[in-house]
Structure 1
Amino acid sequence: MRDDPDALMIFAAGFGTRMGALTATRPKPMVEVAGRPLIDHALDVANAAQVSRIVVNLHYKPAPLIRHLEPRGVALSHETDRILDTGGGLRHALPLLGEGPVFTLNSDAVWTGANPLDQLRAAWAPDRMDALLLLLDPARATGHTGSGDFRLEQGLVSRGPGFVYSGAQIIRGDVVDAVEEDAFSLNVVWDRLIAKGRVAGIVHTGGWCDVGHPGGIAEAEALLNDAGDV
């Protein structure tokens, strides 16, 4: 089993309810930011980090994503009967991702600055961690409200206000496979690993914007424009 991640799961199966009318006829990852679908911004991150295998999960209104992704050689993990949430969706995709640790990335954010997957890869230490979360200072988490869900002390993550989860991580596939339920959140896995002191964290110093709601589109475009990425 390999120790370093070389495969990426992009979460794209959600209903996108916070987007309102924008997702009435298409999945949220096909909503455009700066003239391009959100999923393409996620793929840019993956390609820049030279990830060998990319898997995208599908459930809500999958046809536009299938048409968009199939020509690009992206593997598709279909959650046909019901949505499996982040943990269940990742476990369902493990046969496509392969053994060992994998990257995961939410598809409803844009990034500036250092590549998030490169940051995670550089800090990954499998002897000391089973998951590595990329976190944000709430002051730099554009489009996000609240004080965050995680503390970070001496490199280890615990629950509590302090930092925002960015939607990017490395996690071992076998710890996800150990959950008995079919549909479950990655929070279930993180809580088990936090109790063992096996969840580490690092902080992204660049820009990031949550595009999970309509207002996030203009905020994300402003962030990209300020960074010269548009």
Structure 2
Amino acid sequence: MSNNLNHVLKPAQAMVLAAGLGKRMRPITDHMPKPLVKVAGKPMLDHVLDRLGDAGFDKVVVNHHYLGEMIAEHVAKRDFPAVICSPEAELLETGGGVQNALPMLDENAVLVANADMFWTEGKDPLFTRMIDAFDADHMDCLMAIAPVNGAFGYDGAGDFFWQVDGRLKRRGEAANAPYFFTGVQILNPRLFDGILPGHFSLNVIYDRALANGRCYGLVHDGGWFHIGTPEALRDAEDAIAAS
């Protein structure tokens, strides 16, 4: 085994989820996986990988399923960070996708981010803030959350209440909540202990951390763009250009 290959196969400290079907983005995604759709001049996946590299991550796992060969070919052209692919023959959902990649991931804590998102930084880069805020003694999960008010293209009811001590509480039966989950998180892999392999949502993992009082939130202080449809993509491009 070459030294270079040995380097790439060492456990990664971050994972990018890129296996979704991107149905709402059709017809753009009829022939292209959503993570490769360009926003502000380059694929959303590259925005995420570039920012991981800027934050000091030198190895990243990227899973793929729908049109996965296009994602594999795309990341193979990158020099930094080194990308390890985790192909999925069947769609495993977010939780199953992370669990499937655990042998390739760090045993202590892993930053996991969706591939199909775009944001602008606040005072400090989001990934750097997440790394600095994660406290393994008290946290099994740290989620990046963003205010519902002011998020571009977001029309949901919100996901969480952010409590005084930084812990999160689900919206539950409330009509709305002030913060939504961005798709960026740091997880302790032990949250997956005892879960049988298969397809399941990361919500199973979040519920474990919430039940143990070990799920915290960090509020993103920059802009967030929810890009789910071709129309939202065009509107986001206009807003980004204007800003």
Q: TM-score surpassing 0.5?
A: yes
| Aligned partner of residue 102 in structure 2, secondary structure | helix
193, 200, 212: which one pairs with 1:196? 212
| Aligned partner of residue 145 in structure 1, secondary structure | coil
| Aligned partner of residue 141 in structure 1, secondary structure | coil
CA distance in 1, matches of 2:17, 2:220: 20
Q: Which amino acid letter does the alignment assign opposite residue 169 of structure 1?
A: Q
CA distance in 2, matches of 1:34, 1:134: 22
1:123-162 mapped onto 2 (5 Å cutoff):
123-153=133-163, 154-160=165-171, 161-162=177-178
CA distance in 1, matches of 2:39, 2:88: 26
TM-score (norm 1): 0.91
181, 190, 199: which one pairs with 1:183? 199
| Aligned partner of residue 201 in structure 1, secondary structure | strand
CA distance in 1, matches of 2:179, 2:94: 20
CA distance in 2, matches of 1:65, 1:6: 18
1:1-230 mapped onto 2 (5 Å cutoff):
7-72=13-78, 73-80=82-89, 82-113=90-121, 114-153=124-163, 154-160=165-171, 161-227=177-243
Moved more, 174-183 or 147-156: 174-183
Q: CA deviation at 1:138?
A: 0.3
- Tell me if the contact between 2:36 and 2:43 (Cα under 8 Å) persists in the aligned partners: yes
CA distance in 1, matches of 2:140, 2:242: 36
CA distance in 2, matches of 1:223, 1:204: 19
CA distance in 1, matches of 2:94, 2:186: 14
Kindly tell me: are residues 57 and 177 of structure 1, through their superposed partners in 2, closer, same or farther at Cα, counting changes over 3 Å? farther
Q: Which amino acid letter does the alignment assign opposite residue 191 of structure 2?
A: V
Moved more, 119-128 or 213-222: 213-222
The structure with the largest alpha-carbon Rg is 2
Q: Which amino acid letter does the alignment assign opposite residue 167 of structure 2?
A: L
CA distance in 1, matches of 2:125, 2:194: 30
Structure 1 residues 156-192: Cα deviation after superposition (integer angstroms, max 9, x where no partner): 0111122100111100112124322511101011112
Moved more, 188-197 or 214-223: 214-223
* Unmatched tracts of structure 2, length 5 or more: 1-10, 172-176
Q: Percent identity?
A: 38
2:6 counterpart residue number? none
Structure 1 residues 16-57: Cα deviation after superposition (integer angstroms, max 9, x where no partner): 001011111111111111231111111122111111211110
Kindly tell me: are residues 223 and 124 of structure 1, through their superposed partners in 2, closer, same or farther at Cα, counting changes over 3 Å? farther
CA distance in 2, matches of 1:218, 1:29: 16
- Tell me if the contact between 1:116 and 1:168 (Cα under 8 Å) persists in the aligned partners: no
Q: CA deviation at 1:6?
A: 6.7
CA distance in 1, matches of 2:12, 2:131: 9
What is the root-mean-square deviation of aligned Cα atoms in Å?
1.7
- Tell me if the contact between 2:12 and 2:61 (Cα under 8 Å) persists in the aligned partners: no
* Unmatched tracts of structure 1, length 5 or more: none
